[in-house]
Amino acid sequence: MEDNLMNNNFEGEVYHPAQAIIDEAHIKDYEYLYKMSIDNPEKFWSERAEEFYWSKKWDKVLDDSNPPFYQWFTNAKTNIVYNCIDRHLKTWRRNKLALIWEGEGGDVKTYSYFSLNREVIKFANVLKSMGVQKGDIVTIYMPRIPELIFAMLACAKIGAAHSVVYGGFSVDALAGRIEDAESKVLITADGGWLRGSIVPLKGIVDEAIARQGTIEHVVVVKRTGQEVHMAPGRDYYYHDLCELPVMNQNCETEMVDSEDMLFILYTSGTTGKPKGIVHTHGGYMVYTATTLKYVFDLKDEDRYWCAADPGWITGHSYIVYGPLLNGATSFMYEGAPNFPYPNRWWKMIEKYGISILYTAPTAIRGLMRFGNAWANRHDLSSLRLLGSVGEPINPEAWKWYFNVIGRGKCPIMDTWWQTETGGFMITPIPITPLKPGSATKPFFGIDVDVVDNDGKPVPAGEEGNLVIKKPWPAMLRTIYKDPERYVSQYWSTFKNMYQAGDSARKDKDGYIWVIGRLDDVIKVSGYRLGTAEIESALVSHNAVAEAAVIGLPHEVRGNTIHAYVLLRAGIDGNDALAEDLKKHVGHEIGPIAKPEKITFVDVLPKTRSGKIMRRLLKARALGLPEGDKSTLEE
Ligand code: WT7
């Protein structure tokens, strides 16, 4: 059945959406609106911005007087939370469900916009009582539970910024991020559920705090309920604080400047130090709301499920802010997709009537492995649109997703974007003819191209650098505390173009095919990891002198980490040490960064200037030609 597509809308490798989908879609003419949005982006974006509440309107839509430090909706005042919650309370949506949440153990919680507001107010009062003020950065390290969302919104509501650290990260990754953000307050939980076991978040927090010196208070949400260490005067249980009557008093949503920082989110780059990507209230708000509405054709009747973690940009933009801005009903699930059985996701789609599912190729491939029967047991007819993000989706996984999950009737929105871009950049909308494996065309207002190393557009079909030639509202504003790195990383390779760091091809129809990262960033299960971070975790082990890390292709995870390790003099490599090193990386960065394989070597290939030639290690591992070796040190 795999290749025998179940509907007749396929022509060669192009899928044409059914007329019913086109009739329903918010946008019915891509070409016309795209042209208008590129010819006059300020008109396009100001019209979208008019849909939101601003306590003061902007002087300028786009201020490009100091590139690449662009500003959007300058001098306007708003608060993204006002538009996510307060605004809806004055309408019928007050009683609409904002969130349906299911824990891994099957416990369910639901929140209307009214009750979401109550929860966010409580959390905001707790933060205020700890002295959190406008301009502070609060670090959040939580499992996938509703309180994670409340905490993020509570920060934004009072004008503070959040820095969410994914709950799958571990000690060193957490400590480094807290330190860079100089957070005084940390929000966490005792633990989270994953595959029936407890992830001991609070223990990791204690170790991380011991490694850095800024945290004064820790708020601990009780999720798993086991005994955890609580430092007197520093750590407080959230439920204890909520008992205080003052926490239930009203808390107004603070009006902030459009360009005030909403959050930072750390992401891996080419150096060992993750970059704090800065996003702001106004432009990010307009962009995430618009992209979600047009791409997933969001309607009030939808039950929308973005299966990412709120701790990544996908979750920030399309679990938290985008859906709430649209007044949508979202679903969130705490645990593993195959717990207790591989039908968990399909069962929940059936149970809740999910109409839009947005996930990653690695999850699709992981579930595909279990065969069709698990999905076929369930009524998935509520689905109308599917989505994919994180890495290129291989046509085989695309077709399985399309046929077996979408039952041949749901177009797949393959969205290309990055932590830095804030929202979808290259993506179909429901009316776009699809080619499996291509993220298709740029979103409105996005001027994308593929260029050679001199910045000149390459001919159709040829590989080149993916660039963006115009600023857009949700673009990163800078790298936190490192504006020089912002300029050099993204805006220096090509004149006046944002360099995405990906290679891509544009075909004769103008469809973009993203190939992958050009830098030392590896995508493992869609997660972005820097080789340098993993190498420095390895070197922090006392047996290791030097290490080099590469990514090699993997059927389910896309890539896996392979490490080449040079041990200190007098130490011999063996299986036990290899296991120990893997565990060490897991402990320092997180389980996702654990090397699949460790090879002990006597020498690492380096250039004469001392840079490790990972390219050469990779070619050797794959049995490919070794290429130019002229810079190799003997
Ligand atoms: C990198 C950004 C944006 C949310 C998740 C990832 C790769 C992302 C696609 C896609 C091909 C993709 C790129 C990009 N990527 N989506 N649909 N097709 N590649 O955010 O962790 O910042 O990673 O993910 O290589 O540069 P991120």
pLDDT (tens digit per residue) in 455-466: 999 999 999 999
Q: How far apart are CA 383 and CA 354, in angstroms?
A: 6
Cα 120 from Cα 429, distance rounded (Å):
33
Q: Give the C-alpha separation, 448 to 513, whole Å.
A: 12
**If you measure from the C-alpha of residue 10 to the centroid of ligand 1, how many angstroms do you get, rounded to a whole number?**
27
pLDDT at 179: 96
Question: In which residue are the tokens 């000149």 written?
Answer: 456
CA distance 457 to 632: 32
147: CA distance to ligand 1 center in Å? 27
Which string of b and e fits 128-162 if b means at least 16 CB within 10 Å? bebebeeebbbbbbbbbbbbbbbbbbbbbbbbbbb
Give the tens place of pLDDT for each residue, 312-344: 999 999 999 999 999 999 999 999 999 999 999
**DSSP for 583-626, written as a single string:** HHHHHHT-GGG--SEEEE-S---BBTTS-B-HHHHHHHHHT---
Which residues have CB under 6 Å of ligand 1?
Answer: 267, 313-314, 389-392, 414-419, 439, 500-502, 514, 516-517, 523, 528
Four-residue CA torsion sign, 453, 458, 463, 469? positive
Exposure of 129 in the CB half-sphere (CA atoms within 13 A):
19
- Element spanning 514, H or E: strand 512-517
Nearest in space to 476 (alpha carbons), one of 353, 606, 317, 591? 317
Rounded CA gap, 464 and 505, in Å?
6
Q: Nearest to residue 523, comparing CAs of 626, 430, 392, 426?
A: 392
Predicted local distance difference test score (pLDDT) of residue 7: 62
Residue range 202-256, pLDDT digits in tens: 999 999 999 988 999 999 999 999 999 999 999 999 999 999 999 999 999 999 9
Residues 613-624: pLDDT tens digits?
999 999 999 999
pLDDT of residue 629: 83
- DSSP sequence for 371-393: -SHHHHTS--TT--EEEE-SSPP
Q: How far is 190 from 225, CA to CA, in rounded Å?
A: 7
Kindly give the distance from the C-alpha atom of residue 210 to the centroid of ligand 1, in angstroms, as a whole number. Answer: 33
pLDDT-derived band at 631, boundaries 50, 70, 90: confident
* pLDDT value of residue 270: 80
- In the predicted model, what is the mean pLDDT of the chain? 95
Closest residue by Cα to residue 441 from 18, 5, 33, 20 = 33
Atom of ligand 1 nearest to the CA of 414: 17
- Residue 524 CA to residue 271 CA, distance in Å, equals 18
Residue 614 structure tokens: 């990972």
Task: Tell me, in angstroms, the distance from the centre of ligand 1 to residue 416's CA.
Answer: 6
Task: Note the pTM of the prediction, 2 decimals.
Answer: 0.96
